[in-house]
Amino acid sequence: MDLKDPQISEWKRFYRSFSFAWSGIIHTFKTERNFQIHVFISIVTLIVGYFVHFTKFEWIVILFLIGGMLALELINTALEHVVDLITSEFKPLAKAAKDAAAGAVFVYAILSVIIGIIILSNHISFELFK
């Protein structure tokens, strides 16, 4: 059944869209090693943040970094699936598209690590001198 089917109520369509989104997240978690790694690191980061008492602003930054990283990894996975669906043979443009998407994830991951280290270093240095 299609979400654009006029027989389906607006609320049912709304609910189903969340169901499809959640299904995509679960499928990606089950099948993509990099997404699993990002989720694991996110959980560790949240636990560490709890114990070192991140400020509200630090929590906002960390949550944006985690959300952005997971969203970018989902987009990268979607793009890879679409490229694989279109062609199974090697094509330079297909490779370039997949590499660019992976590069975007990599750039954001490096940025996230640097910001995470900056935030965490403030708490670790204070904890060591108490």
Q: Does 80 count as an annotated binding residue?
A: yes
Q: Determine the pLDDT at residue 107.
A: 98
Please tell me the distance from the alpha carbon of residue 95 to that of residue 101, in angstroms, as a whole number. Answer: 10
Q: Is it the case that residue 8 has pLDDT exceeding 80? A: no
Of the pLDDT bands very low, low, confident and very high (cuts 50, 70, 90), residue 88 is confident
Out of 58, 73, 89, 127, which one is annotated catalytic? 73
Q: How many residues does the chain have?
A: 130
Judge whether 73 counts as a catalytic residue: yes
Residue (of 67, 82, 77) closest to 34 by Cα position = 77
Reduce the DSSP state of residue 111 to 3 states and report it: helix
pLDDT (average), residues 75-89: 95
Q: Binding site annotation covers 2?
A: no
pLDDT at 4 over 80: no
- Cα–Cα dist 46/38, whole Å: 12
Q: Is 98 among the annotated ligand-binding positions?
A: yes
Average of per-residue pLDDT across 74-95: 95
16-56: pLDDT as tens digits: 889 999 999 999 999 999 999 999 999 999 999 999 999 99
Query: pLDDT at residue 96 above 70?
Result: yes
> Does 32 count as an annotated binding residue?
yes
pTM of the model: 0.85
